[in-house]
Amino acid sequence: MERIFSRRNILKLGAGALGTGVVTAGVGSQLVSPPKVIAENNISPDQALQQLLEGNERFVNRKRKNPHQSYTRLTEVAKGQKPFASILSCADSRVPSEIIFDQGFGDLFVCRVAGNVATPEEIGSLEFGSLILGSKVIMVLGHERCGAVDATIKGAQVPGQIGSLVAAIQPGIEQSKNQPGDKLENACKANVRAQIEKLKKSTVLSQLIQENKLKIVGGYYDLDTSKITIVS
């Protein structure tokens, strides 16, 4: 299969977009400097996932190493980033990725939005994190007692742009109907699966998956224990 979305093509696209003002200065500056920012992480997607889960296990067992949190690390990654994993997480203040996975500066490429929904902007960000920065795994991380999912189940009338989140969560709610067990937990996990399916429809991400350069998985965070379990 012809590699339509090659790094070279993406870099050319980014350079052209800079001229028209489409790409922001922050993103564009990375796109036109490939030697400094394109990651060649020497780990597999499975190893990247294992690294995430081991970090969470350390956090759960109160054996944190607090890696890559020194001033030296800060100055190192100021020159370029090579995150090994990306997280699409809920914006909930109780679910800070770097803490619950016991990681530090430059380790995780994190997108946070209420309900951990895969909007076009979030998908584009994760495409960038995987294709350009070299992230090897994307985890869609839902959590226990998610307020956004709960509001969607209850059909809450919400003002402003909050309704766009409810609409994005609704497909997962539909999939969880009639399942035995806790209704909210089922819906939270179903929402994770629904967002994974949206991500897999990305031509950029699906190509990386086919080439065994990326894995997309679901996670469920227990607010009471801080334990993350894989959502299949």
| Contacts for 163 with CB less than 8 Å, ≥ 6 apart | none
Q: Which domains are delineated in the chain? A: 1-37 (no CATH), 39-231 (3.40.1050.10)
pLDDT attached to residue 54? 98
pLDDT attached to residue 19? 36
Angle at 152 between CA 148 and CA 158, to 5 degrees: 80
pLDDT attached to residue 42? 82
pLDDT attached to residue 6? 52
Strands (E), 7-58: none
φ, ψ (nearest 5 deg) of residue 6? -75, 160
The percent helix, strand, coil of the chain (3-state, each to 5) is 50, 10, 40
Residues 210, 216: Cα–Cα separation, whole Å: 12
Tens-level pLDDT at each residue, the chain (232 residues)? 444 455 555 544 443 333 333 333 344 434 444 334 344 468 999 999 999 999 999 999 999 999 999 999 999 999 999 999 999 999 999 999 999 999 999 999 999 999 999 999 999 999 999 999 999 999 999 999 999 999 999 998 999 999 999 999 999 999 999 899 999 999 999 999 999 999 999 999 999 999 999 999 999 999 999 999 999 7
Angle at 23 between CA 209 and CA 194, to 5 degrees: 35
Q: Which amino acid is at 79?
A: K
